[in-house]
Amino acid sequence: MAIVTAQRLVTIERHIAEQEHLHPHATGEFSRLLRDLMLAFRLIAREVSRAGLNDILGLTGTTNVYGEAVRKLDAYAHEVIVRAMEHGGHLCAMASEESDGLIALPPTRPRGKYILLFDPLDGSTNIDVNVTIGTIFSIYRRRDPALTTDATLEDVLRPGCEQVAAGYVCYGSSVTLVYSTGNGVDVFTYDPTLGEFFLTIEKLRIPRRGTHYSINEGNAKRWAPELQDYIDYLKTPSHDQHRPYSLRYVGSAVADVHRVLHYGGIFMYPADRANPSGKLRLMFEVNPLAFVTEQAGGRASNGCCRILDIRPESLRQRVPVFLGSPEDVAEAEAFLQGRHILQRLRTPEA
């Protein structure tokens, strides 16, 4: 039986080293940052896989900056990433979905040129019931790498197209790390017996079109009519048998996006009457997922514009999301912008 599906047997360590050699002027700082992050992911994966045996299920009794109840695993994952990253000397700023503003770095450590943003545990409501959850991360290089001071909020609030790396870890039936440094998307699978991530898919490509849609349809009555039309269209059988689409919704963005990246289709968290900017956070969730999606050949939009071009105004900013196969997302945009009549003429109903 093949050990991995990729042709070469490559650990994440070796992959990081190989990538570093592609950049003759690399100082190794970025590689060290990635290695520190991998350690945090291993620690989180260990606690996730033992959840129920350890005292990690349930609530902490506190709320985060969004007013959401914090679960013990949210707090643990946040703490592990901060501890793994704060002493490395690679960062000049760090921020987490679970804390307010920038996280103070130890005064005694040098400042590096990178900025790290993360959602330590995405899909919190699924933690206690053994459903797939994730960690999302986003890395920027500070504009003036010669500076040795802390980065300011202004340095951090940059459009997603300026990310130098982004990705996520999916804690599901296996633990998978998916990330991009702007040169395609590579997928690694964790072997817990060896404590190693192995490269399992090199240069993942999303299908141009899929047959699945992913959205919290419980909110349908609050959607704009254009979105209701689009979802109706996906559910209406077509002559070419491409529709109806099937619905898949986990409620962990990492899991839903992971499926879409492999099988194609569209993931949505739209605006609705109760959430005029949607639910997902631009800096911690949406930009990194959009970066990975584009790097895999997909499209990521807020319904009218490219997500990665949005100029953020605050760390907590939320944004509507439509991401996935390029043809599916373009079609969703056409509906949302009232250009769908033409689309319908092209694919008549059965």
Q: Is 74 in the site for Mg ion (CB under 5 A)?
A: no
Q: Is 155 in the site for ligand AHM (CB under 6 A)?
A: no
Nearer of residues 29 and 272 to ligand AHM, judged by Cβ: 272
Residue count of the chain: 350
Nearer of residues 137 and 198 to ligand AHM, judged by Cβ: 137
Give the number of other Cβ atoms within 10 Å of residue 331's Cβ.
22
Nearer of residues 117 and 199 to ligand AHM, judged by Cβ: 117
Contacted by 312, from ligand AHM, Mg ion, none: CB < 5 to 8 Å by type: none
Q: In the window 88-147, what residues touch ligand AHM (CB under 6 A)? A: 119, 122-125
Region of 199-207, 234-242, 251-259, 335-343 interacting with ligand AHM (CB under 6 A):
251-259
What are the residues facing 95 on neighbouring strands?
A: 117
Q: CA nearest 328: which of 201, 238, 223, 214?
A: 214
Q: Is 252 in the site for ligand AHM (CB under 6 A)?
A: yes
Q: In what order do the strands lie in the sheet with 163-171?
A: 91-96, 114-122, 133-141, 163-171, 175-180, 186-191, 196-201
Q: Is 119 in the site for Mg ion (CB under 5 A)?
A: yes
Region of 8-16, 112-120, 152-160, 239-247 interacting with Mg ion (CB under 5 A):
112-120
Give the span between the Cα atoms of 215 and 223, in whole angstroms: 11
Phi, psi for 62 (deg, rounded to 5) = -110, 170
Among 269, 291, 322, 335, binds ligand AHM (CB under 6 A): 269
Q: CA nearest 210: which of 177, 255, 171, 244?
A: 244
ω before 237 within 30° of 0 (cis)? no
Region of 193-201, 234-242, 249-257, 335-343 interacting with ligand AHM (CB under 6 A):
249-257
